[in-house]
Amino acid sequence: MIRAVVLGTGMYMPERIMMNDEIAKLVDTNDEWIQERTGIKQRHIAADGELTSDLGVKAGKQALANAGVAPESIDLVVLATTSADETMPSTATKIQHQLGITHGAAFDVNAACSGFVYAMATANSFILSGMAKRVLDLRPRRTATDGLSSIAITTSVCTISLLAFSSGISFTRGSRI
């Protein structure tokens, strides 16, 4: 019987840190209000021109190194995000190319907070079905004041105080049990 196991993980957070006091300059709130309701003191913000694919590539390199596998051995790249670089081509294919993954499929799954669950379930399904042996499962997000401004209400303290930039990733493969 085959089961999916996580072999390696990677992460990346942009250098710029936005404190709650900066959020308070954008909307009617303060540091105490945000911390009291969310526990958040700071968030990482992508640099101008830093795309979701950039976040994913940086985390992907870490995950592959952590797992000790070559990019050429990956069968599938699954990316869960609501902040793709553009509609087409998919951000997953950009990451696939930049990481040197030379074969297999790559696609985006449009999912926000639940993206971790959707991407892992998708990776697991491909492995259990035998359609893939090694899957790179990505969850990079560009959010906050510019990344999701076209779809999120960034003038609302309830929205803007929660948003940040990050990239988490795992490398999953099938294993006999």
In which element (H, E) is residue 119 found? helix 115-129
pLDDT digits (tens, 9 = 90+) for 28-62: 889 998 889 888 888 887 888 888 899 889 989 98
Q: Give the pair of three-digit tokens for residue 138.
A: 């990505």
Place of tokens 């969310």: 38
Query: Are residues 163 and 144 in contact, defined by beta-carbon separation less than 8 angstroms?
Result: yes
With a cut of 50, say whether residue 152 has pLDDT above it.
Answer: no
The pLDDT of residue 149 is 40
Of the candidate CATH numbers 3.20.20.370, 3.40.47.10, 3.40.50.970, 3.40.50.1980, the domain formed by 2-176 belongs to: 3.40.47.10
Burial of 107: CB neighbours in 10 Å, binned 0-12, 13-18, 19+: middle
pLDDT band at 7 (very low <50, low <70, confident <90, very high): confident
Higher pLDDT, 86 or 167: 86
The pLDDT of residue 13 is 85
Least confident of 46-50, 86-90, 137-141: 137-141
Q: How far is CA 54 from the centre of its chain?
A: 10
Q: What residues does each domain of the chain span?
A: 2-176
* Greatest C-alpha distance within the chain: 56
